[in-house]
Amino acid sequence: MRYTLIYKCIKSISKIMSSNLILQRVCEYCNKPFTAYTTKTRYCSKSCNSRDYKSKIRNEKLNISKVEFKQKVLESPHNIILLNIKPYLNIKETCLLLNASDSTIRKMIKEGVLPTMRIGVKHVIRKSDIDKLFTY
């Protein structure tokens, strides 16, 4: 008895507060048409709303990561501008210059594609040898 009375009160309040607007909108996430009952509705469903929110957060994180990476590259002692000037490079600097992984450079050295000189335990790679990789 008590629950039915509460239900009837809630139902009558919702009838008073509900909008009589019926708007045709296009979902901002999936671009499908839908019927909106308020002027602020932007998505056809909660799942589209969640997916769009998550994609925006993901894109913000990626943009922040890209900015941080660019700052680290510019601030690092091995920035690309300095690497183009140096006649000899180590493996880490070669990785930055060629945008390749450490294992790829070591594999090229092992296969003889990229000639090196060893000074102690370090590999030293001539910049001219790297340039020859890209010229015929």
Which CATH number do you get for residue 129? 1.10.10
Selection from 79, 86, 105 nearest residue 94 by Cα: 105
Alpha helices in the chain (DSSP H): 2-17, 46-75, 80-85, 91-98, 102-111, 127-133
Assigned domain for 32 exists: yes
Assigned domain for 44 exists: yes
Please state the domain count of the chain: 2
**Which of 5, 36, 53 represents a domain boundary (last residue)?**
53
Q: Are 130 and 99 in contact, with CB atoms under 8 Å apart?
A: no
Assigned domain for 91 exists: yes
Domain that holds residue 23: 18-53
pTM to 2 decimal places: 0.44
Assigned domain for 40 exists: yes
Q: What is the pLDDT of residue 135?
A: 84
Q: What does the pLDDT look like over 70-124, one tens digit per residue?
A: 777 666 666 677 778 889 999 988 888 888 899 999 999 999 999 999 999 899 9
Looking at the structure, tell me whether residues 43 and 87 fall in a common domain. Answer: no
Q: What does the pLDDT look like over 49-65, one tens digit per residue?
A: 999 999 999 999 999 99
Q: What's the whole-number mean pLDDT along residues 30-54?
A: 94
Looking at the structure, tell me whether residues 93 and 49 fall in a common domain. Answer: no
Assigned domain for 62 exists: no
